[in-house]
Amino acid sequence: MIDLGVTKLDVTKLDVDADQKLLSQLSVSFALPLRARLPHPSRMVKGYYDPSDYSSFIGLLNLIFSFNGMPKLVLKLAAFWLLLLFQLGLLSTRYLYAEGIWHVPLPTVEWASIKSVTSLLTFFIVFYGGSMYGRYQTFYGHCVGLGGDCMNWVCLVRNHCPQDKAVRWNCTRFVLSCVHVLYFSLNEPAPGEPDIGEEEWEIMRERHLFTMAEIATLKEYKGYKPFLPLVWALEEVEKAMKTDYPNAPRGPELATIIATFRGLAFEMRGHCGQITNWLKQPVPFPYFQFLTLLLMVDLTLIAYGLTNMEFHWALTFVIYLVILSSFMGLKEVAVAMSDPFGEDDIDFDTNGMLTSAYNNAIAMLKDERPVSLSADGDMGNPLVGKAEPAAITNGTAVAVAIATKIPAGWPPGSGPSSKSDVLL
């Protein structure tokens, strides 16, 4: 028996526009020491921000002067501070020469020659950032695909497997454990440590995903670890569906259902393999080396060129600080997007994804609604008689929800934009 401690809700008493409050009450928390939980149940990135939060003047100031984001990535770089010291040294030399203390002037350089190098650097930075954003979205697509396949698998288990809770959990837990094993193996272990630590194995034990014998088997397994639980899941499903139970499918129907399970398992293996192999395929080293060299050379030339201009030293320093932060920040953001599994603000919150998949599976398997072939009763049937479709005017849903009794009134301006939104 798994006690999830889900809060019971009377949805008829909830404010419909407070959707975040509703979702937060429905979610189940787990103690995951490796990563923080999602800031919002529907967000899959740790440092996700809502653009509407920064529409006001105060919000704009909070965005500009926030330490999270680009400043956090740039200020930890030794090259950033080295180039700043180089700029201060040049400004000090110019000041000493102007005061007559230093008698050797700085050689002049044409700004047009610096602009040509800067244009080349801008092209490479933008191209590199675009490539890494495409890679980032590829990872995101596979992570979403894994979550969707888990939901599809649980749906099939709930509708086709025997109504025995132990059997249904055995048919489900290995699919969830496949995703757990994948995401936990993406953590970068300390030198000499295994890919999955004991703390992470214990998390999977607390979620009732593995027995101790199964964990020992996985630890000794020399192949691709996320795939082995999928093989176990298929074995459990095939064995369960070939037993004699009420309304058990037979013949072609049984073969079709098992083939659907098999297709989902192989699709999940594809998502896992794509994530793993994309991480093993970094940006070619010569390209990254050239970009880094071009960045350092151009920022050095810009520091020298700005020093030759007749600006106040403070203004020169501020201008260079902005240029330096921009170029190095864009490069570091691109580098962070190339591997979104870690502790950066833009990395995926994989623990949030795992918690969501686990909660969805438990909720689906606990649903025991009996099949009804009739639409009669207190609900009524819109296909019988002259019932007209519910009208939706000015963002207000007039229809009453079916089973959960969701309130009929939506706050003005926050309701669904179409009838299909209400149905969804």
Token pair of 411, please? 């706050």
45 phi and psi, to 5 degrees?
-120, 140
Q: Whole-angstrom distance between the N-terminal and C-terminal Cα of the chain?
A: 32
- Half-sphere CA count of 346, side-chain side, radius 13 A: 19
**What pTM was computed for the model?**
0.74
Per-residue pLDDT of the chain (424 residues; tens, 9 = 90+): 333 333 333 333 333 344 334 333 333 333 333 333 333 444 566 655 666 666 777 877 777 777 677 778 888 899 999 999 999 998 888 888 877 887 777 788 888 888 889 999 999 999 999 999 999 999 999 999 999 999 999 999 999 998 889 999 999 999 999 999 999 998 777 777 888 889 999 999 999 999 999 999 999 999 999 999 999 999 999 999 888 887 788 889 999 999 999 999 999 999 999 999 999 988 889 999 999 999 999 999 999 888 888 778 888 899 999 999 999 999 999 999 999 998 888 889 898 999 999 999 999 999 988 877 665 667 777 777 665 666 655 544 434 333 344 444 444 444 444 333 333 3
* Integer Cα distance of 156 and 286 in angstroms: 48
Taking each helix axis from N to C end, the angle separating 227-241 and 111-160, rounded to the nearest 10 degrees, works out to 20
CB 278 within 8 A of CB 91: no
* Integer Cα distance of 50 and 58 in angstroms: 14
Token pair of 120, please? 């080349």
